[in-house]
């Protein structure tokens, strides 16, 4: 048994936040039906097709390597066509969740907004993931992860002192502030429905999610009124014992020896026990920085990690992706896994991070080809073969 077995999710999303949200639900057992727009890409979708390889991977919904679409089924519905909307409404009658990431107002224009769908199925939960939310002065603004984390204050706090802000991929806004918060909101709404018998609307703004993740940092600012400088707080590079260092082979290691006992162990391991009393004495910090910078140049990264891990020190190698793939701990934790694809054989993917002892998640389906399951899903809704062929001829489905 899977934790979300029996939960049906309609996935209207395209780019990272929504697909990651529904991947989490699918990995835990939900039946996620991904609704694609029939026909070749047109307009802005066509413009996107020639972009960077990473973007093309996201656009290629059926790629064996598009992990965000695993465990899902795919159907093609032209929601601007009346018959396709009727099929969507039939799907919504028995669905538990709808996830979309349109700009505010688009779902209403398409006739698939929460107010409409809850009239069909009062138990349905609709989750909208957007940059700035469904209301407020910024609700209609265009944006991407970099803009949302800028508005939330995260980007301005990340980077080296006197340097440019460091862009942390699209992890904070898209994946954590959007996708992960969306999954949490949906699971909370499902729990609430157990008590109330009714669904609800889940409004997820990526900007809100990033502000929430800054709760501790912003609380410090609210307390003191002091705006922290980039690279000048104890968790952003201000202290030598919580920092990264280049080693003799050009690779980096990370130190996190904040507590006094960890710092003392570090000083002993690098031959400077005299520095133990000066962990928080800023008049000695440059001396500590300079010494650690020099001593770590005397050996390779992996040599230093092996030496430091023999004592109780917070240290880790700073990996590139090819090293993540080979790490024995991540392999043991099944965070790097091989799955069988029917066409290309074994494919490596990231694993499932939520470890449940009784109802663990699983990778059951490869990413579907675009609109691969249209007939299967429509037949499940009661459509005949002849009706499906008519809908396809009329451009309602693919």
* Residues labelled catalytic: 144, 174
Phi, psi dihedrals of residue 198, rounded to the nearest 5°: -125, 150
What contacts 120, CB < 8 A, 6 or more positions away?
89, 92, 93
> How many Cα atoms within 13 Å fall on the side-chain side of residue 131?
18
Answer yes or no: are the C-beta atoms of 7 and 79 closer than 8 Å. Answer: no
Answer yes or no: are the C-beta atoms of 16 and 170 closer than 8 Å. Answer: yes
* Distance in angstroms (rounded) separating the CA atoms of residues 197 and 240: 55
* Distance in angstroms (rounded) separating the CA atoms of residues 391 and 381: 14
Beta strand extents in 283-335 (DSSP E only): 315-317
* Distance in angstroms (rounded) separating the CA atoms of residues 172 and 175: 6
What contacts 5, CB < 8 A, 6 or more positions away?
29, 30, 359
* Distance in angstroms (rounded) separating the CA atoms of residues 257 and 266: 7
Beta bridge partners of 346: 340
Q: What stretch of H or E contains 186? A: helix 181-196
Record the tokens describing residue 253, joined without a space.
Answer: 């290691």
């Amino acid at each position: 048994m899977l934790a979300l077995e029996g939960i049906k999710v309609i996935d209207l999303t395209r780019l990272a936040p929504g697909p990651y949200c529904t991947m989490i639900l699918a990995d835990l057992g939900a039946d996620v039906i991904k609704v694609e727009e029939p026909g070749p890409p047109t307009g802005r979708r066509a413009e996107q097709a020639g972009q960077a390889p990473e973007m093309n991977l996201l656009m290629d919904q059926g790629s064996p390597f598009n992990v965000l679409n695993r465990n899902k089924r795919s159907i093609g519905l032209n929601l601007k066509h009346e018959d396709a909307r009727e099929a969507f409404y039939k799907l919504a009658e028995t669905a538990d969740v709808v996830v979309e990431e349109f700009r505010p107002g688009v779902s209403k224009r398409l006739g698939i907004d929460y107010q409409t769908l809850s009239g069909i199925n009062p138990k349905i939960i609709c989750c909208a993931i957007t940059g700035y939310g469904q209301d407020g002065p910024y609700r209609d603004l265009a944006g991407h992860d970099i803009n949302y984390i800028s508005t939330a204050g995260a980007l301005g706090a990340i980077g080296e002192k006197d340097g440019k802000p460091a862009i942390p991929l699209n992890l904070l806004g898209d994946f954590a502030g959007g996708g992960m918060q969306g999954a949490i909101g949906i699971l909370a709404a499902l729990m609430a429905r157990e008590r109330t018998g009714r669904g609800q609307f889940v409004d997820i703004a990526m900007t809100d999610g990033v502000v929430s993740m800054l709760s501790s940092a912003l609380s410090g600012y609210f307390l003191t009124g002091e705006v922290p400088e980039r690279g000048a707080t104890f968790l952003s590079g201000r202290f030598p014992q919580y920092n990264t260092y280049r080693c003799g082979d050009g690779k980096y290691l990370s130190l996190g020896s904040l507590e006094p006992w960890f710092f003392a162990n570090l000083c002993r391991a690098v031959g400077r026990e005299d520095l133990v009393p000066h962990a928080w004495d800023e008049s000695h910090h440059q001396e500590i920085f300079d010494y650690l910078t020099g001593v770590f140049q005397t050996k390779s990264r992996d040599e230093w990690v092996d030496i430091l891990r023999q004592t109780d020190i917070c240290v880790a190698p700073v990996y590139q992706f090819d090293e993540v793939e080979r790490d024995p701990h991540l392999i043991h934790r099944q965070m790097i896994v091989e799955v069988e694809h029917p066409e290309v054989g074994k494919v490596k993917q990231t694993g499932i991070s939520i470890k449940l002892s009784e109802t663990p998640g699983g990778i059951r389906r490869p990413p579907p080809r675009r609109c691969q399951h249209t007939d299967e899903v429509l037949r499940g809704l009661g459509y005949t073969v002849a009706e499906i062929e008519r809908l396809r001829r009329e451009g309602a489905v693919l």
